[in-house]
Amino acid sequence: MRVAVIGGGPGGLYAAALLKRLDPAREVTVYERNAPEATYGFGVVLSDETLGGIEHADPVVYAALRREFVRWDDIDIVHRGSVQRSGGHGFAALGRRRLLAVLQQRCRDLGVDLRFHTEGPPAAALARTHDLVVGADGVHSATREAHADVFRPRIAEHRCRYVWLSAPFAFDAFRFEIVETEAGVMQLHGYPYAADSSTVIVEMREEVWRRAGFDGCDEEESAQRCAKYFADALGGRPLTGNRSQWTAFRTVVNERWWYEPPTGGGAVVLLGDAAHTAHFSVGSGTKLAVEDALALAACLDEQPGVPAALAAYETERKPVVASTQRAAHASREWFEDLARHLGRPPRQFAFDLLTRSRRITHDNLRLRDPGFVAAVEREAGVPEGTPPMFTPYTLGGLTLRNRVVCSPMDMYVAEDGLPGDFHLVHLGARALGGAGLVMTEMVCVSPRGRITPGCTGLWTDEQEAGWRRVVDFVRAHAPGAALGVQLGHSGRKGSTKLMWEGIDEPLPDGNWPVVAPSALPYRAGLNQTPRELDRAGMDEIREEFAAAARRAARAGFDLLELHCAHGYLLSGFLSPLTNRRTDAYGGDLDARLRYPLEVFDAVRAAWPAERPVTVRISATDWADGGTTAADAVAIARAFAARGAAAIDVSTGQVVAEEQPAYGRSYQTPYADRIRAELGVPVIAVGAISSWDDVNSLILAGRADLCALARPHLYDPHWTLHAAAEQGYTGPGAPWPAPYRAGSRRPPTGRADGPKPRLTLDGG
């Protein structure tokens, strides 16, 4: 088997070494256009997980690296004169040149043909004479670009500029330092990689970089000026460069990672930065490349042929990389928006920074450094022994016993809008299950405002009585649980099938006419075209909302939420993609807000003054030309000014062509931004799935309340179980008397961890 590797970075070299070691008969050649010692940057950080993989796959390489490592456990966050230290993290780093030298020597010892100062031939040409071509040629990969029609890359350039530098001493911790200058906020990421050297990355927003004059500096002047800005961190010592150019980070995603040329010959596969990148703030570039090499070698060893091996490699690595990229995306955005976080108290700021990627959490940090987390909790006023999620919170005249909200979830089981036994059991079970606030599904204000024939309503006395029955049950059997009602109108998304019969699909018969801000169907050719609302229609619907609010108040609900999200009627007015009106209710955002605010005012006037009203919004449409995060802040500001007690921050579902960036807690940054910029209470939603997520979001100051939907479908007693799993028995999660015998977590069986990915004999 003949293998050509294009690129002599860590990933390419390690792949070459493993492939040769697994089968000494393979002919493996590495092409690298630079000299052996030529590289950019300084230090490389590797995780214990990656090192474990190296140790099992090639003990010789591991032993050589281990002799070079600098290890440390602490992270320092320096913010407005305060230094917060968190321990127990466990890092290992070494110089990039030393890493390359170790891998180069291993390749030579194994008989890999290393060709430095040699531009790699095009992958297509190599494929004609080799069985496998590995494109490990970095973020600017010529291999990827030459075959972009196959790999289908997506490349995004981001908002900060950064530069890699070196300091002539070793930091005693991983250091994050923030300085606020006349030009704007700048940050330093620093860590040791040798006994006398540290990597220093200086990063700032593009506009700050320009205002500070860095766009006119050469390498030496940039290093000198960075050293002045961060003189305290450096102790007055200088910074030096190594091909250190200011650049903007580029995220690389490829739809495919390998292919076989249609004209025959060997297969071509991407590895490392050629296949994917993840922002340096999660320390993942070299880690991912090395792990790619491990997986590629293992798959070639396990599978019956090259195509099967490459398919297995892509299948194995893609989800892992996607997860890392989601974490890196969250981390990168946090630093891009750093100025928004600076007003937080010192310890909360440090906790927020450490948990920014969502991979490090409250529980994880508590295990690593319980003293640090306890200090953060004391600063935030969390009682000792109380998880942050079980601290009370007050909205208007309503005090919730904890921060958990059972999110509105449409059930589609009502008849003529009437809530029945199912709703009593469904909502009653969630109230018994410990959530501080239990929300109804979207309750429709009129028959024509329903999404489906199975939606509940509040337009008749009988419906009001049905809801009062639910409220009375909760009052009697789950005292302390608050019950909220969400009012909405389906707009153009109405008159559709039940969700499990075909979500957003029109009814086969019995359709009712739908209305919207503009005559635009949800899906052209499938959903009906709505009638554009005139003044009379708008007035009628506004009064229907007010009447429903009065009924909800008489039914005894504690809180009312106005649904202005997910493409329903009021959301349709807010989004420029669904509101094309040319009158006073269309055009700029102020005009698009006019009708939703009129409805809010009518509801607020009809609802008891001491009971809070919240508003759910879609903070982004996930579509070009739609609502932006900045728009969401303006929308939240407008509702808060009219008396909204909190903003429930959801996203999307406005247009059918949306492209959401799904992931764990993926909507929470929008809530964080609104809270930080406006200081208004927010409810965070969106793939918040664990009590650890809730604790992390609350303690970091990103949200005041957390709404969970699917977890409450999986487990109606999710909140009580979260308390049991954390050993909490306080007032934030009282067990109903009939359930107290089950308040301790049942024992579980033993689960052995996975075996090493690739294990070879030493030698």
Catalytic residues: 568
Spatial separation of the C-alpha atoms in residues 184 and 204, rounded to whole Å: 8
Minimal CA–CA distance to 45: which of 172, 160, 198?
198
Spatial separation of the C-alpha atoms in residues 601 and 639, rounded to whole Å: 9
Spatial separation of the C-alpha atoms in residues 338 and 186, rounded to whole Å: 9
Report the length, in residues, of the chain.
763
H or E stretch covering 100: helix 96-110
DSSP SS3 for 324 = helix
DSSP SS3 for 666 = coil
Spatial separation of the C-alpha atoms in residues 264 and 322, rounded to whole Å: 31
Structure tokens at 38: 């030529």
Beta bridge partners of 217: none
| Residue 75 CA, distance from chain mean position | 22
Spatial separation of the C-alpha atoms in residues 212 and 284, rounded to whole Å: 29
Structure tokens at 95: 């110089």
Beta bridge partners of 93: 45, 70
* Burial status of residue 384 (CB atoms within 10 A of its CB: 0-12, 13-18, 19 or more): exposed
Q: Which of 725-731's residues contact partners 24+ apart within 8 Å by CB, and which partners?
A: 725/691, 726/387, 726/691, 728/385, 728/386, 728/387, 728/390, 730/383, 730/385, 730/386, 730/390, 731/401
Q: What is the CA radius of gyration of the chain?
A: 29
* Residues whose CB is less than 8 angstroms from the CB of residue 371 and which lie 6 or more positions away in sequence, other chains included: none
CB 68 within 8 A of CB 95: yes
Residue 147 Cα distances to 255, 256, 263, angstroms = 12, 11, 14
Spatial separation of the C-alpha atoms in residues 509 and 511, rounded to whole Å: 6
Minimal CA–CA distance to 532: which of 545, 515, 549, 548?
515
Q: What does the longest C-alpha to C-alpha distance in the chain come to?
A: 85
Q: Please give the backbone phi and psi of residue 482, each rounded to the nearest 5 degrees, phi first.
A: -95, 150
